[in-house]
């Protein structure tokens, strides 16, 4: 697997990050796509826990992966790039933020013709908020565990941060994204305090 080296390299960065990385369930090490999914989710979890330094270490590493027109991989890298840009802005590292956005835009505008048109339409629908909002009925399910709710809210948070970093739209403004980011972050941290990380993805 070509991305296993990233997992191994991150484990050597510092003792704290090593412990976190080694906590990833072994099933996420069975394919490149799963490795990218796991590391991206861990970077967002660290961000939510206010560990911006280690989150940035992970996203910096993932940002070095070159776009090769394979969206099975790029979906997760794009999320990581958005988070990298968000953290870089917090640290006033504007060049790093621009680099992240440029890489996202390069992939978005790659190629031409029908495939590019479809890709741009999908992107526009996302920026308009299509499919982003939480389905509140999910949380009324008495059988929903805190681990399942955590996983659900984490993906939601990733989408909101991506939408915010990429500028929002007339239909889904940055101000709305910020309100939902803050509200969902509070809910996630409440779940973390209840022990949700114990069996949440990618730690189970």
Minimum mean pLDDT among 30-34, 70-74, 91-95, 156-160: which range? 70-74
Determine the Cα–Cα distance for residues 10 and 131; give it in Å rounded to an integer. Answer: 33
Query: Per the domain annotation, does 69 fall within a domain?
Result: yes
pTM, two decimals, is 0.94
Question: 11-16 long-range CB contacts below 8 Å, 24 or more apart?
Answer: 13/54, 13/57, 14/54, 16/54
Read off the pLDDT band of 169 (50, 70, 90). Answer: very high
Domain region containing 91: 4-198
Query: Per the domain annotation, does 30 fall within a domain?
Result: yes
Query: Per the domain annotation, does 18 fall within a domain?
Result: yes
Query: Per the domain annotation, does 203 fall within a domain?
Result: no
Q: What share of the chain is helix, strand, coil (3-state, %, to 5)?
A: 70, 0, 30
Query: Per the domain annotation, does 59 fall within a domain?
Result: yes
Query: Per the domain annotation, does 171 fall within a domain?
Result: yes
Radius of gyration of the chain (CA): 17
Read off the pLDDT band of 1 (50, 70, 90). Answer: low
CB 6 within 8 A of CB 33: no
Query: Per the domain annotation, does 43 fall within a domain?
Result: yes
Give the pLDDT confidence score for residue 42 in this predicted structure: 97
Domains in the chain, number = 1
CB 75 within 8 A of CB 44: no
Query: Per the domain annotation, does 204 fall within a domain?
Result: no
Residue 29 burial by Cβ neighbours in a 10 Å radius (0-12, 13-18, 19+): middle
What mean pLDDT value characterizes the chain? 92
Single out the residue of 47, 143, 71 nearest to residue 39, CA to CA. Answer: 47
Determine the Cα–Cα distance for residues 162 and 180; give it in Å rounded to an integer. Answer: 13
Read off the pLDDT band of 140 (50, 70, 90). Answer: low
Query: Above pLDDT 90, what percent of the chain?
Result: 75
- Structure tokens of 140? 């009324």
Between 68 and 44, name the one with better pLDDT.
44
pLDDT 10s digits, 178-195: 999 999 999 999 999 999
């Amino acid at each position: 697997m070509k991305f296993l080296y990233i997992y191994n390299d991150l484990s050597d960065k510092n003792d704290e990050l090593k412990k976190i990385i080694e906590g990833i369930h072994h099933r996420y090490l069975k394919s490149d796509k799963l490795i990218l999914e796991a590391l991206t989710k861990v970077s967002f979890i660290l961000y939510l826990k206010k560990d911006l330094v280690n989150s940035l270490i992970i996203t910096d590493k993932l940002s070095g992966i070159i776009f090769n027109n394979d969206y099975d991989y790029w979906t997760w890298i794009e999320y990581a790039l958005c988070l990298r840009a968000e953290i870089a802005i917090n640290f006033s590292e504007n060049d790093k933020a621009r680099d992240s956005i440029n890489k996202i835009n390069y992939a978005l505008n790659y190629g031409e013709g029908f495939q590019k048109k479809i890709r741009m339409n999908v992107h526009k629908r996302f920026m308009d908020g299509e499919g982003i909002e939480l389905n509140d009925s999910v949380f009324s399910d008495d059988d929903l565990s805190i681990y399942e709710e955590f996983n659900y809210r984490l993906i939601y948070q990733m989408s909101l941060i991506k939408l915010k970093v990429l500028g929002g739209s007339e239909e889904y403004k940055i101000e709305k994204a910020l309100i939902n980011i803050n509200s969902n972050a509070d809910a996630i941290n409440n779940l973390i305090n209840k022990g949700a990380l114990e069996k949440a993805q990618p730690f189970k």
